Chain A
Amino acid sequence: MNHLTEEQLILHHYGEAENAPAVAEHLRGCAVCRGQYEALHRTLSLVTAAPAPERSVDYGGEVWRRLRPELREEPRFQWRRYLRFPPLADWPRWAWVPLAAMALCVAFLAGRLWPAPSLAARGLSAEVRRQILLREIGEHLERSQVALIELLNTKTNGMVDLSMEQDLARQLVAANRLYRQTAAKAGDARMVAVLEDLERALIEIAHAASPISSTELANLRQRVDTDGLLFKVKAVDAQLRLKERDEARARAAKPS
């Protein structure tokens, strides 16, 4: 048997090694691996030894006292309480006059005011929509980075199941297309270029075979990360976050 890999030692430490008796047997006979395993064990013991701060005995009570005001029950609307009117036949005649006047006022005001909110919303939405879009593209780039990192860092000697990564890639492709079209309309050529590359990579991942052999996975990685795609996505994401932060600061500094 060759020397054990770090991954095998880690899995053995956590009791998840595929062939635990063989690993244990190897460790008994191989001083090099035993040394590696002991070093790993010492490091992880140090992590365990780092104490977590203790809470008081009444900690649960403290949490409850902070939490209780937040737990508002859904108010149950009781129609009967508000609709306890006497029968119409019992109403005095004079009561119809103010009622009719009130209905007229309500109809007039409704007619006047009804379109107003949508106009206001249209006036506000351009800036607000742009900010929301910036944030959403940032989130999208971050999720895409996670998907790419997961794929690029996967280590294997055998077959790998990519179904989870593929599900994520499929979701991201649909969102990516929308953001790319929006960026094109806004004339942001750099963003369009990065999103185009990203879309191509995501489609590659989504349509790859799964399970996939380590050789095929290496080829896929090469195709996906051509021209340092991950780096480009990171750079655009960082730039976007910076822009978002600067705009937030500018808005905060602006006198109302």
Chain B
Amino acid sequence: MMDDGDAAMVARVRGGDTDAYRTLVERYSANLFHLAYRMMGNEQDAEDVVQESFLRAFRQLKQFESRANFGTWIHRIAVNCSLDLLRKRQRQAGRTESLSAQPDDEIHALPSEGPSPERLLVNAETREQVNLALNQLTALERAAFVLRHFEEKSIAEISASLGVSGNAAKQSIFRAVAKLRVVLEPMVNSTP
């Protein structure tokens, strides 16, 4: 069931009160950004996904089932927007190019004195390595993995969200984890 506040806002927007949409945007923006960032791996694309998701949702609000949950619905729209953009990016650049384009100068340029900068360095390096590993996945593998690992969705939910069979969703996760292990395990093993 939809949150009462969401239901009321959706009804107002459908009735022509566009400004009521602001409440929904403010409520779900941060969550959508986190999802989009995990899917895309960079802030600019994640921002674009958030914007596009709310725009698509607004335009399709007439088709939205009022008994459904707005949060789940907008989440699914964001997954689809991310997949579209991810496929476009992979077509444009090719996975090999995106791998070789990973900038590491920034990490080494960070100061390494004192605990706080060290922490920053570790965080930045971890993020960089994880992005590097995630960039090796296909759009479907990445989407399935992000939904399982970060969003904690079940295999059934993932298959519904991505429009693939349960088996295909499961296999995508297996392949994603296998690829991540190849890139990240040396890093894990080198950590004392």
Binding site for B on A (CB under 8 A): 6-7, 10-11, 14, 16, 39-40, 42-44, 46-53, 55, 59-61, 63-64, 66-68, 70-71, 73, 142, 146, 149-150, 153-156, 160-165, 241
Least CB distance from B10 to A in Å reads 14
Q: Are B130 and A153 in contact (CB under 8 A)?
A: no
The answer to the question of B102 belonging to the interface, with a C-beta cut-off of 8 Å to chain A, is no
Chain B residue contacts of A163, Cβ below 8 A: 165
Q: How far, in whole Å, are A28 and B123 apart by their CA atoms in the complex?
A: 33
Contact of A42 among B129, B130, B188 (CB under 8 A): B188
Chain B residue contacts of A6, Cβ below 8 A: 174, 177-178
Q: Which of B127, B140, B167, B178 has the most CB atoms of chain A within a 10 A radius of its CB? A: B167
Q: Are B164 and A73 in contact (CB under 8 A)?
A: no
Produce 1/0 per residue, B136-149, CB < 8 A to A: 00101000000011
Q: Chain B interface residue count: which class? A: 35 or more
Q: Are A154 and B171 in contact (CB under 8 A)?
A: yes
Q: Are B30 and A55 in contact (CB under 8 A)?
A: yes
Least CB distance from B132 to A in Å reads 10
Query: How many CB-defined contacts (below 8 Å) exist between A and B?
Result: 121
Q: How far, in whole Å, are A102 and B82 apart by their CA atoms in the complex?
A: 54
Q: How far, in whole Å, are A60 and B26 apart by their CA atoms in the complex?
A: 4
Produce 1/0 per residue, B159-192, CB < 8 A to A: 0000111111011011101101100110110000
Q: Are A63 and B50 in contact (CB under 8 A)?
A: yes
Contact of B174 among A10, A53, A61 (CB under 8 A): A10
Given contacts A40-B181, A46-B187, contact A14 B38 (CB under 8 A): no
Least CB distance from A56 to B in Å reads 10
- Stretch binding the partner chain, chosen from B14-22, B69-77, B107-115: B14-22
Least CB distance from A34 to B in Å reads 16
Given contacts A50-B127, A64-B25, contact A59 B51 (CB under 8 A): no
Q: Are A73 and B50 in contact (CB under 8 A)?
A: no
Q: Are B38 and A52 in contact (CB under 8 A)?
A: yes
Nearest A residue to B175, CB-CB: A153
Nearest B residue to A14, CB-CB: B148
6 CB < 8 A contacts A-B:
A7-B174, A11-B170, A53-B37, A68-B22, A153-B175, A156-B167
Q: How far, in whole Å, are A85 and B70 apart by their CA atoms in the complex?
A: 46
Q: How far, in whole Å, are A71 and B171 apart by their CA atoms in the complex?
A: 39
**Interface residues of B, dominant DSSP:** helix
Q: Are A155 and B58 in contact (CB under 8 A)?
A: no
Q: How far, in whole Å, are A35 and B112 apart by their CA atoms in the complex?
A: 34
Using A43-B188, A47-B130 as known contacts, list a sample of 12 further A-B pairs with CB atoms less than 8 Å apart, ordered by residue number in A.
Answer: A44-B149, A46-B130, A47-B149, A60-B25, A60-B30, A63-B26, A71-B18, A71-B58, A150-B168, A154-B171, A155-B174, A161-B165
Chain B residue contacts of A53, Cβ below 8 A: 37, 43
Given contacts A60-B26, A64-B25, A161-B167, contact A48 B91 (CB under 8 A): no
Q: How far, in whole Å, are A31 and B15 apart by their CA atoms in the complex?
A: 63
Least CB distance from B53 to A in Å reads 10
Least CB distance from A129 to B in Å reads 22
Least CB distance from A8 to B in Å reads 10
Q: Which of B89-130 contact A (CB under 8 A)?
A: 91, 123, 126-127, 129-130
Chain A residue contacts of B178, Cβ below 8 A: 6
Q: How far, in whole Å, are A55 and B36 apart by their CA atoms in the complex?
A: 13
Chain A residue contacts of B184, Cβ below 8 A: 43, 46-47
Q: Are B168 and A165 in contact (CB under 8 A)?
A: yes
